[in-house]
Amino acid sequence: MSIWVDILRWLHIIGATVLFGTGAGIAFFMLMAQRTGKPEIVAHVAGTVVIADAIFTATAVVVQPITGALLAREMGWSLGQGWIVLSLLLYAVAGAFWLPVVWIQLRMRDLARQAVLENAPLPEEERRLFRIWFACGFPAFGAVLAILWLMVTRPETGFWP
């Protein structure tokens, strides 16, 4: 194997680790902030989460398919292999839940900031959005876990050539 394959594999693993770790960290810190019920804490954490998603998650979301396609080509794997097709489908599922979450995080941040300015409690809309945000995390995070398993095991799926 060439150094190029090693670099691609390393970059792909770093990207997967960033997606997994940032997702888990963001979920934990948002949950902990929300549990306080304090608008100033929710506003601060939600603002940080928006930045982390923009820097880390968005970058990894772009890098993963690029490094994955290049790595598959270098390894001689067809992008039509079952485990790769399933990984791509799960990636689309994760993305379908992540994209609305980005908007929800922005809205939650703004609502919490407004509550701070008004010296008011968190509005019901913010709490409702958090419940939606939290619920979206389960299928997205599950999809990422499944993709990691597929990347490690590369099973014969039998549903695709």
pTM of the full predicted structure?
0.90
Half-sphere exposure in the Cβ direction for 100 (13 Å, CA): 15
Residue 104: inside a domain, yes or no? yes
Q: How many domains does the chain have?
A: 1
Going by C-alpha positions, the residue among 56, 47, 67, 65 that lies closest to residue 24 is 56
User: What is the pLDDT confidence band of residue 3, given thresholds at 50, 70 and 90?
Assistant: very high
> pLDDT of 103-161, one tens digit each?
999 999 999 999 999 999 999 999 999 999 999 999 999 999 999 999 999 998 776 55
Q: Is there a contact between 46 and 30 (Cβ–Cβ < 8 Å)?
A: yes
Residue 161: inside a domain, yes or no? no
Alpha carbon distance 114, 110 (integer Å): 6
| Structural domain that includes position 17 | 3-153
Residue 159: inside a domain, yes or no? no
Q: Is there a contact between 50 and 9 (Cβ–Cβ < 8 Å)?
A: no
Residue 160: inside a domain, yes or no? no
